[in-house]
Amino acid sequence: MRNAIKLCITLCLVFLPAVWATPDNETLDYDTHELAFIRSLGPWPPVSKKDESNRFSQQEDAIELGRQLFFDRRLSLNNTSSCADCHQPDLAFQDGVALNTALAPLHRNTTSLLNLANRPWYGWGGEHDSLWSQSIRPMLATAEMHTDLSALQKVLSQDSFFQCAFQQTTGLNLADLTQQDLLVTIGKLLASYQETIQSGKSRFDLFRDQLVDAENTSPSQKNAILTAEEQVGLKIFIGEGRCTFCHSGAHFSNGEFGDIGVSFFTANGIDKGRYDGIKALRTDPYSLLGRYNDATKNSNDAKEQGNTETIPHNALRTSHLQLLHRNWGEFKVPSLRNVGQTAPYMHNGSISTLMDTVDFYSELDEERLHADGEKILRPLHLTPIEKDSLQAFLLSLSGPIHAAQEKPSLFSQCR
Amino acid sequence: MKSINKTLKSVSLLGTLLFSGSFLQSVHAEALPSAGLMPLIDTHIHYSHDAVYSTPPKKAIEILREAGLQKAFVSSSSDKGTQLLYAEAPDLIVPVLRPYRKRGETSTWLHDETVPAMLEELLANNTYAGIGEFHVYGKDANLPVIRRTVELASEYGIFLHLHGDSDAVEYVFEQDKDARILWAHSGFDNPEDVAVMLEKYPNLTADLAFRTSHAYRGKVDEDWRKLFLAYPDRIMIGTDTYTPERWYYVVDHAEWSRTWLADLPTDVAEQIGYKNAQNLAAWALK
């Protein structure tokens, strides 16, 4: 009986996408360019890769300890909030509100934590170049967790279980650490857990795989996983919409920054976006150019060989950053994976729904953009049917969300 | 306490006057930048309808003064923004007439036959140092609306702030060899091509608005340095406040400009930083 249930579950999981699609779904015709674009939006999930700047990356016990820290309110001043209070697992690891005001009014939308491993920049302004340094940020922010490091070190040191688990995981004695080392270590443990927060294959991914397979074998015109409406939306997305200029690759984001004409005034002034992000990165002691980058060992080796100019290979991107006038008011191009679950949208949460976002691009305010030469952004002037199609396609980008689960056995000797 | 602050301010002002030498003598006292800061003239400021709403005139002037600007060349869509700022701070604002009624007319204005009449009326009733910034590329510079704009600049003895390619600049000089053109963004051309144009047209000057390639982390790029040293009296700086939020970039931009200007010989830095713009404004606002 148990085997029968297992088989049923397996079959359901394998064939569910086909059930979602109507039986007579046909694959629309795609020309060579369209096929190339579709191919470029995968494969998904990406190959798992260790973050070389974080020596705890992909370590089982670090992931578990990071998971515990993620839900631990002791990280904040007066135990007011944990990471999970704003990055809620049942809300795709975001908070579902435009601007969070739980502790103090914020001026940026809380981003989802899906698929953050090995991205080039973190934060709406790209203030950080690693997931662990980004994880430190809310702890230091007075409007967010506002961590009292001295108090935190004391309380964690008095927790015999945590102290033991910390020692087992990091090889470090909690009480002996400097506050900076404690901060960085906690950041790296938090990052280790967050690397496991991923979305699985979406219906679009299954469709893409089907299409790529068909290219390699004989084309199959029947039983397409995406509906005709979704495929029309896909064609707009990769075609006249030119969405893939920015929302490119398997992450549906180029990982960089843009100004799409959303106001960046805040309640108290201005959010300079990427401009301040670059400035912050240049002075951040926790950037990949700093001493906490665990990949610097190669650099030290090079220094011993007389090459004093060597920059760790994973920090080259940061070292080449240039501050440009255009960076003023640019914000990160967000991933569109599971976009149907990450409303509200934009850096300031100013657009409530996915359809409103489609409307925004459809009626883009050209006056606001001031592009010279080739215009990447232009109003799409979509018909209602086209808007519905584009939204339907975007909704097909949602996959099941996974994150590391509790593994109490890992620290059994600490109990 | 107030009297102490007043005394400190007076000492600071006296120090600035004593140690800054003669170049500050021609500057109005009320336009002096903060002590120690090199004065600057920003030749590329817009104050369009939406900026007026988000940053009212008093606040806008406060920003310009905070940036340590001696003057700001301001053009707006519509012209109302420029007039509001000019009324607020005539010592600071150099009014320039933009031929747009609202933002977003960059590619349509030159086909709008009602534009010349609008320009004529505004020129007759107000004071301007120039007409622009306007957008025009290639042969479009020979369209009737542009031709009339060039004529009006000649009639009033004011400059043209032209955003376009080198072809457009050449067509305008064909129409009026005595025209004075401030080439917005230096045409987004490379320094070698800008040099060719400056050499060919003695009445051409160029602003560096929205350009970053000439300086990196306070150091002037070598190719641009050659241009600056070869034509020190022809280049000016500018921010380009093309969206309301960019008004808040003026201070950062001034700070950035002072950083790379410091990498040039002092006399060249002063020319590019404010003297060339001062001369252009003085020529136009005689």
Q: ipTM score here?
A: 0.82
**Best to test chain A binding among B44, B45, B213, B245 (most A CBs inside 10 Å):** B245
Could you list the beta-strand ranges (E) of B85-176: 93-97, 130-135, 159-163
Q: What pLDDT score was predicted for residue A310? A: 78
Q: What is the pLDDT of residues B106-132, one digit of tens each?
A: 889 999 999 999 999 999 999 999 999
Contacts of A366 in chain B (CB under 8 A): 104
- Using CB atoms, pick whichever of A328, A368, A372 lies closest to residue B188: A372
Residue B130 has phi, psi (to 5 degrees) of -165, 175
Say if the Cβ atoms of A325 and B212 lie within 8 Å.
Answer: yes
The whole-number pLDDT of residue B228 equals 98
Question: In the predicted model, what is the mean pLDDT of residues A234-263?
Answer: 96
pLDDT higher at A168 or B35: A168
| Residue ranges in chain B modelled with pLDDT below 70 | 1-35
Q: How many whole angstroms separate alpha carbon B201 and alpha carbon B187? A: 14
How many residue pairs from chains A and B have C-beta atoms closer than 8 A?
43
Q: Name beta bridge partners: B205.
A: B182
What domains lie within chain B, and their CATH numbers?
37-284 (3.20.20.140)
Q: Quick one: average pLDDT of A15-40?
A: 74
| Per-residue confidence band for A307, with pLDDT thresholds at 50, 70 and 90 | low
Instruction: Tell whether A245 lies on the interface with B, counting CB pairs under 8 A.
Output: no
Cross-strand bridge partners of residue B132: B161
- Give the pTM: 0.87
Region A328-357: what's the mean pLDDT? 98
Task: Work out the minimum CA distance from A135 to partner chain B, whole angstroms.
Answer: 28
> What are the chain A neighbours of B103 within 8 Å (beta carbons)?
367-368, 370
pLDDT at site A288: 97
Q: In which element (H, E) is residue B181 found?
A: strand B181-183
| CA distance, residue A136 to nearest chain B CA (Å) | 27
A269/B210 CB distance under 8 A: no
Sequence-separated (6 or more) residues with CB below 8 Å from residue B247:
B47, B51, B54, B55, B60, B63, B241
Q: Which residues of B touch A323 (CB under 8 A)?
A: 212, 256
The whole-number pLDDT of residue A8 equals: 41
SS3 B104: coil
Nearest by CB to residue B104, choosing from A265, A275, A367, is A367
A22: confidence class by pLDDT, cuts 50, 70, 90: very low
Q: Which residue of B185, B211, B245 is in closest CB contact with A270? A: B245
Instruction: Provide the pLDDT confidence category of residue A366 given band limits of 50, 70 and 90.
Output: confident
Alpha-carbon gap: A263 to the closest alpha carbon of chain B (Å): 8
Domains of chain A in start order, with CATH, are 60-199 (1.10.760.10)
Alpha-carbon gap, residue A103 to A86, rounded angstroms: 10
Question: What whole-number distance in Å separates Cα of residue B57 and Cα of residue B49?
Answer: 11
Report phi then psi at B265, rounded to 5.
-55, 145
pLDDT computed for residue A67 by the predictor:
98
Q: At what angle do helices A228-238 and A203-216 cross, to 10 degrees?
A: 80
List Cβ neighbours of B227 (8 Å cut-off, separation of 6 or more).
B191, B192, B194, B195, B198, B235
Inter-chain residue contact A328 with B188, CB threshold 8 Å: no
pLDDT tens per residue across span A175-212: 999 999 999 999 999 999 999 999 999 999 999 999 99
Q: Which residues of A touch B210 (CB under 8 A)?
A: 325-326
Are the beta carbons of A269 and B248 separated by less than 8 Å? Answer: yes
Rounded average pLDDT over A101-129: 96
Res A220 pLDDT > 60: no
CB contact under 8 A, B245 and A269: no
Contact of A333 with A256, CB cutoff 8 Å = yes
CB contacts, 8 Å: B216 with chain A? 322
Burial A242-265 (b: 16+ CB within 10 A, else e): bbbebbbebbbbbbebbbbbbbbb
